[in-house]
Amino acid sequence: MRSIWKGAISFGLVTIPVKVYSATEQRDVSFHQVHRKDGGRIKYKRVCTVDGEEVPYADIAKGYELPSGEIVVLTDEDFADLPLSTSRRIDVLQFVETDQVDAIYFAKSYYLEPDGTGAKPYVLLRDALEESGQVAIVKVALRQRESLATLRVREGVFVLETMLWPDEIREPAFPFLEEDIEVRKQELSMATSLIETMEGDFDPSEYKDAYREALQAVIEAKIEGREVTRPEPEEGEEPAADLLSALRASVEAAKKSRGEKDGGQKGGGAKDGAAKKPAARKSTAKSGGRAAKSTEKKPAAKPRSRKSA
């Protein structure tokens, strides 16, 4: 990986020099626009709509359009006076519980690596933050934009996650929220049963981008000169008569799917699933403070621990 930014974490009077790396990458298949006839690349020219002349890049400025359609032209000098920090610091503002930060605020993730002599204070802050079970709220200027961000620990490395500002989050003002929609107790019970049937430990490696794989296969077939085969469409299931029937059918399908995944056969799947269930629930109880299930009468629920796993 190549670092995209160098700076320092400012933690009280402690300064920790770091390098910043993009933690994620898009794996979409990219294309160029080409001439269908001969495959030639399509080029675009920067042409002014007023005089029709092609404009050199050095003569291009940023324009803000008013509601009237008029344009306010901003130059580099206008941007130079804006209060954007150039100190290359990641300023720690406060520490908060992890569950206080809604995931909708997160924009992009970056890894931080200690730079030069910053390894020891980096590890010190990392261990202290991990021990606290909290995340740091920080402010940083990246790519000509100042952002709030969180600083957390993942696999022994600081992860900087830039955040949207509060006024960038849209209000979900949907009409159904004002309606009095009645949910029957039996329906809620069946929905809860479906959730319990489908619960498990999240393993990202179990999922794949089927569209990208199929698209790559089409490209490879084109390269090799083979005929492209199209997969047969999947047969659609008959819609359920009502919500409760749909939930009940979903529970049965989830149980069947879980049995095939765990044991390959119906009998073996149930046995293997039963053997694996206690361990999974023990892990869940440890991480989230949720009591393990029992056929006996449940005791009063204990309050959740605020400390993150």
**What is the reported pLDDT for 290?**
39
What's the pLDDT tens digit per position in 18-69?
999 999 888 888 888 988 888 888 989 999 999 999 999 889 999 999 999 9
Q: Answer whether residue 227 shows pLDDT above 80.
A: no
CA neighbor of 137 nearest in space, from 114, 166, 178: 166
> b or e along 9-20 (b: 16 or more beta carbons within 10 Å of the residue's beta carbon)?
bbbeeeebbbbb
Tell me how far apart the alpha carbons of residues 243 and 246 are, in angstroms, rounded to a whole number.
5
Distance CA 144, CA 86 (A): 9
- Asked if 153 contacts 159 with a C-beta cutoff of 8 angstroms, the reply is yes
- Pick the closest to residue 90 from 116, 110, 117 (CA basis): 110
Give the list of residues 6+ apart from residue 285 with CB closer than 8 angstroms, or none: 291, 292
Q: Which one is the CATH code of 5-25+83-168: 2.40.290.10, 3.90.700.10, 3.40.50.300, 2.60.40.290?
A: 2.40.290.10
Q: What is the mean pLDDT of residues 76-101?
A: 83
The residues that bridge with 135 in the sheet, in sequence order, are 96
- 185-198 and 243-263 are packed helices; what angle lies between their axes, rounded to 10 degrees? 20
What share of the chain has pLDDT > 70, as a percent? Answer: 77
137-172 residue pLDDT tens: 999 988 778 899 999 999 999 999 999 999 999 999
Q: What's the pLDDT score for residue 150?
A: 96
Counting other chains too, the contacts that 187-191 makes at CB distance below 8 Å and 24 or more residues apart are: 187/243, 187/244, 187/247, 190/244, 190/247, 190/248, 190/251, 191/247
Percent of the residues in the chain that have a pLDDT greater than 90, as a whole number: 43
pLDDT class for 252, splitting at 50, 70, 90?
A: confident
pTM, to two decimals: 0.65
3-state class of 184 per DSSP? coil
Domain boundaries, the chain: 5-25+83-168
pLDDT: which is higher, 303 or 143: 143
Judge whether residue 231 has pLDDT over 90.
no
Does residue 295 register a pLDDT over 50? no
Q: What is the mean pLDDT of residues 250-268?
A: 67
Q: What is the mean pLDDT of residues 70-98?
A: 84
Output the CA torsion sign for 238, 244, 249, 250: positive
